[in-house]
Amino acid sequence: MASVPQIDLDNLTTSPTADEALEEWYKRNPPVADSEANPWDVSRAELYSKDLWRKPFAEMRATAPINKVEGGVHGDFWNITTYKPIQHVEALPDIYSSDVSHGGITIAEPDFDDSDFQLPMFIAMDRPKHTGQRRTVAPAFTPTEMKRMEDEIRQRTGEVLDSLPWGEKFDWVDKVSIELTTGMLAILFGFPWEDRRLLTYWSDWAGDVELSCAEDLTEQRRHILYEMGAYFTKLWNERVDAEPTPDLISMMIHSEHMRDMDPMEFMGNLVLLIVGGNDTTRNTMSGVAYGLGQFPEEREKLQQNPDLIPNAVQEIIRWQTPLAHMRRTALEDHDLFGNQIKKGDKVVLWYISANRDEEVFPEADKIIVDRDNARRHLAFGYGIHRCVGARLAEMQIRILLEEMHKRRMQVNPTGKHRRVHACFVHGFRELEVELSKY
Ligand code: HEM
C-alpha cells in the first residue's frame, strides 16, 4: 500500500456527502438543456433524477433496440435496450470486455491520471483473472453462509423496524434503507458497528459515476477513498495474524486464492463488495416502500398472502433495477443482431430498460407481486459477472418484508421524495413516509 498517503484515522472526513459535493458542482457546471440534448442520450443524469427515463427507452425498444449515440454526455456509445441482446453480449465476455484497461464497467471513462489510485476489482476484470478472484469471495455467499447470517439480519431488521415512529412523517431512506444496508455490511465484514455509516459515506463517494467525472472534485474524492483504504488496511492488519473468524475480511485473508492477490487487489475487492452491496440493496429497500405505495392493490395482495413475499422480492428488484446499466467494450468487430459493433466501441447494457421489455414482462411498468416470471429479471446481470451478492440481497429484502408483515406495517409514501441524480445508481436520496397498521 505504498501509494496511500498518511491518514489520520481519528479524524476521518465525514462531510460533505457525495450528494452535497455534486449538487455544488452542478451549480458550477449546469447540464445541457433538455431541448438541446439528444433524446436517446440516456446517460443524462437528470432523466433519472426527474424520473423521465421511461419514454426514451420505450421508444428505443420499439424502434431501434440497439442504436448508437454520438457525442453524448459520456462520449459515443451503443445503447442496448432489450432483454435478448443484453444476455447475448454478457454471454460473450471474451468479445465484450469488462476490464478497466479497456474502459471498465460504467459509461464514464475510468480515471487514468494516477494508475496507483486505480483499485483493481474483479467486476472490472476479464477471464482468467476474474475467475480466481471471484472464487475468493464466493464462499461468503453460499446458502449455508446465508443461513448463518439470517438470524442476525432478522434480529437487526426487527430492531430497526421497532424503532420507527408510527403516525409520524420520517425519511425511510435514512432510517431504514441506509440503516439496514450498513448493518448488513457491518455483519458481513465484521466492521466496527459504531462506524458503520462510514460505509455509506465511502460508497457514495466511490460509486457515483457523475462524481468520478467531476474533475475539480478528483482530489477530494481521492482523499476520501484513501481514508477508506487506510481504514480497511487497519482492519486487515488486525486480522491477518489472528485466528480465522467467519467474517468476509478474515475469510479472504485465509482463502487459498489470496496467495495470488496483492494488497491493492485485496483492497479493491473489499471496496467492490462495499459499493456493490450498498447503493443496490439500499435502493431496493426504498423501492419496497415507494413501489408498493404506487400499487396499493398489489400491496394488499401481499399483505393478504405473505407466501408471495419471495416472488415479490424478485418483482421489486426488477421494477426498481437499482443499477441502471453496466458497460462493456468490444475487443473485436462484431455483428450484434445486424449492428456492426467496431473494436473499441463502448456498449451500454441498460438493465433498467430490459426489465421493462414487454415481450418478456407484460405490463412491465407495473409491480405485479405474483408475476410468474419475475425471477427472469436482469437487475443482477447475467453470465460470468452475475452479481455474487444476489442471494444476500434477496434474503435481506425478504426478511424486511417478512418483518414488516409480522408487525402489520404498511408504509405510505407521502409524495415527498428526492431521487438520485445519476445514470448508474437508480434510486432515492430521500423518501418521506408515514406508517399505518393493516
Ligand atoms: C455484480 C447488481 C447486491 C456484490 C453486480 C452486477 C450487477 C449487480 C448488475 C454486475 C453484473 C454483470 O456485469 O453482469 C446488484 C443488485 C443488488 C446487488 C441489483 C441488490 C439488489 C449486491 C450485494 C453484494 C454485491 C449485497 C455484496 C455484498 C457484487 C459483486 C459483483 C456484483 C462483488 C461483481 C461480480 C463479478 O464481477 O463477478 N451486482 N447487486 N452485490 N455485485 Fe451486486
Q: Is residue 11 part of a domain?
A: no
Average per-residue pLDDT for the chain = 91
Q: Is residue 173 part of a domain?
A: yes
Q: Is residue 413 part of a domain?
A: yes
Ligand 1 centroid–CA 386 distance in Å is 7
Residue 232 pLDDT greater than 90, yes or no: no
Query: Does residue 81 line the site of ligand 1, with CB under 6 A?
Result: no
Query: Does residue 323 line the site of ligand 1, with CB under 6 A?
Result: yes
Q: Is residue 405 part of a domain?
A: yes
Ligand 1 centroid–CA 104 distance in Å is 15
Query: Does residue 326 line the site of ligand 1, with CB under 6 A?
Result: yes
Rounded to an integer, the average pLDDT of 342-356 is: 98
What are the pLDDT digits (tens) for 279-327?
A: 999 999 999 999 999 999 999 999 999 999 999 999 999 999 999 999 9
Domain that holds residue 240: 18-437
Q: Is residue 12 part of a domain?
A: no
Query: Does residue 386 line the site of ligand 1, with CB under 6 A?
Result: yes
DSSP secondary-structure letter at 338?
Answer: T
Nearest to 99 by CA among 75, 62, 124: 124
Query: Does residue 206 line the site of ligand 1, with CB under 6 A?
Result: no
Specify the ligand 1 atom closest to the Cα of 134: 38
- The pLDDT of residue 111: 64
What are the pLDDT digits (tens) for 125-167?
A: 999 999 988 988 888 899 998 998 899 999 999 999 999 999 9
Query: Does residue 157 line the site of ligand 1, with CB under 6 A?
Result: no
- Long-range contact set of residues 219-223: C-beta below 8 Å, sequence gap at least 24: 220/21, 222/114, 222/117, 223/13
Under 8 Å between Cβ of 76 and 70: yes
Specify the ligand 1 atom closest to the Cα of 322: 19
- The pLDDT of residue 2: 41
What are the pLDDT digits (tens) for 250-265?
A: 888 887 776 667 777 8
Tally of domains within the chain: 1
Q: Is residue 301 part of a domain?
A: yes
Percent of residues, the chain, with pLDDT higher than 90: 67
Q: Is residue 5 part of a domain?
A: no
Query: Does residue 281 line the site of ligand 1, with CB under 6 A?
Result: yes
CATH number of residue 112's parent domain: 1.10.630.10
Number of CB atoms found within 10 A of residue 149's CB:
18
Please name the residue whose Cα sits nearest to atom 34 of ligand 1: 123
Q: Is residue 224 part of a domain?
A: yes
